């Protein structure tokens, strides 16, 4: 609390005496410390799988999400691995950002060498820029480029299925 006592010094001037008390004790001054912490932001990274030449099966293809450095160098261990659904869609678990800054990710398709499938080897690079909006929340801006550094709005892996040709030998006996 702040106690201001105003007295007349008898010469026509008022004098103010200020006392500061914190929890009933006299203190030199009272300071206030306001803490600000912006709420975190979540993002979900998702994509689509297409397969020309035959129907796509639920869980047939796997996709990997890696957290990388700013050069998009991929390490050995994926942050997450998910599979496509029957409609070809795949979604990684949400990623939470609690601080401002840039983070970098790569999404690839896992080549499991399915017979007759030509895999899309595109590597998608994702830059997430997290900033404080100044009103209590972090916001994330996501930029996606492919491995040719072309900006893209979505992540699409397009595979092609071509059945292998087979030779059949037929022995014919003429009588």
CA–CA separation, 48 and 89 (whole Å): 4
- Across the chain, which has 175 residues, the per-10-residue mean pLDDT values are 86 87 84 89 98 96 97 94 98 98 98 95 98 96 95 97 79 76
Q: Output the pLDDT for position 28.
A: 84
CA–CA separation, 80 and 63 (whole Å): 8
Q: Output the pLDDT for position 151.
A: 96
CA–CA separation, 66 and 27 (whole Å): 55
The token duo for 68 is 């990388």
Q: Output the pLDDT for position 34.
A: 86
Q: Output the pLDDT for position 11.
A: 87
């Amino acid at each position: 609390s702040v106690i201001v006592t105003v007295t007349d010094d008898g010469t026509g001037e008022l004098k103010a005496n200020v006392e500061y008390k914190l929890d009933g004790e006299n203190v030199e001054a009272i300071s206030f410390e306001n803490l600000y912490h912006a709420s975190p932001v979540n993002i979900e990274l998702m994509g689509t799988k297409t397969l020309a030449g035959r129907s796509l099966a639920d869980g047939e293809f796997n996709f990997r999400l890696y957290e990388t450095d700013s050069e998009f160098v991929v390490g050995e261990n994926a942050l997450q691995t998910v599979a496509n659904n029957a409609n070809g869609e795949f979604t990684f678990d949400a990623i939470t950002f609690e601080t401002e800054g840039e983070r970098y990710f790569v999404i690839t398709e896992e080549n499991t060498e399915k017979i007759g499938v030509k895999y899309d080897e595109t590597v998608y690079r994702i830059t997430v820029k997290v900033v404080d909006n100044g009103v209590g929340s972090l916001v994330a801006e996501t930029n996606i480029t492919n491995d040719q550094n072309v900006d893209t709005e979505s992540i699409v892996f397009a595979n092609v299925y071509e059945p292998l040709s087979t030779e059949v030998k037929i022995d014919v006996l003429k009588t």
